[in-house]
Structure 1
Amino acid sequence: MKLPKSAHTSRPWRIHELAHDFTVEDVWALPAPGGPDELPRLVSQTVGGDFPEGAPLIVRFLWAARWKIGAVLRLDRPKSGIGARVPSLKERMPDDLRAAPKGPESADFPFTSLYLLKDEWAAELANRTVHTVMHLSWVPDGSGGYRGQMAVLVKPNGWFGAAYMAAIKPFRYLIVYPALMRAIERGWRKPGAGGRSPARTPRP
């Protein structure tokens, strides 16, 4: 379920001090309920997921088209990424966050983990269009339990990046994110799930 941006901005997340010049693009309540200490499970499933292979054909088509367009426009070249076009947010991290666990990473997962705390995890990605942060958090659900929440923060690369983000927005809201939420829910409810889930957050 899509949430107002205040669902992210009103909470005292550590990411605020690192990404103060980023814009909150999306906030979602994830279909991942649980106990107070299950954020690491959600993060592990996100990093280890294989979305969109199990998604509907239209989602897989859009995913493939994104990579084709990216190759033609050279959106994902190394010189457009973290440490090249933009510095990593790690350079803004205070000592306590530098000393915190980073969280899991995978060669198949395009984001680079920044830190993993008890109730929040952040990872970053940059290409020619945008510098973006994926923020997963673990919040009270109002009935004694907890649930996952995802925020996407963006810093577009000039007019080109802003135009690109505007162009893909309808596809993300109408097609990609609904399929992603269903995949997260299936993976979370799978008996014995604790490592791999059929869900991966879309890249811009």
Structure 2
Amino acid sequence: MDAAEERAEDEEEIAHADNACSDDSLEEEGGEDEEEENEKLCSEEPLTEEEIEVLISELLEVESKAAEAQEALEEESLMKVEADVRKELALSLSDNELEKAVVEEMFTFKEEWEVELDELETESAYLLEQLDGAGIELSSLYKWIERQVPNGCCTEAWKKRTHWVGIQMSLDATESVARAEEYLQDSEACNKTTW
């Protein structure tokens, strides 16, 4: 990807973020709960202690579900499920039909869990963004969660997330952020001159 394509993608992401607080985007969301959450984010009022506690509670719930999804997608779990599926389908199918049915069932099983995990990851990122915006230090939050629920914090997804929260960004990420900040400054300067 060349620099022009990267800049176009950055501009598109920034434009999408800018539109997140517009009235039109709130109407498109459809649900009243989502509308209320977006209005809270757009109002830029600081979150109350109670709201922060609710967000942390929601994050713990999402992380717990994500751990379950991650475990379901681990090779050992998939092998157990496949053995159970094969055993059940062997009662009514044989040979090629059995193999085909097992492959289809396992594909569907994995796909459902991958979609679930993806949705949970998105929800987790959204909650983390809100907590970060509220001034909560994410690395400290993760350390606190690990102390509270040590057995629930051992999945690969969890380890990657805590690693990401506690370290410096990669060179690519740093460059991308710098380009986005430069774009925002340029856009802000243009907006000020047009007023």
Task: Choose between structure 1 and 2 for higher RCO, CA contacts under 8 A separated by at least 6 residues.
Answer: 1
More strand by share: 1
More helix by share: 2
Larger Rg: 2
Task: Give the TM-score band, short-chain normalised.
Answer: under 0.3
TM-score of the aligned structures, taking structure 2 as reference length = 0.26
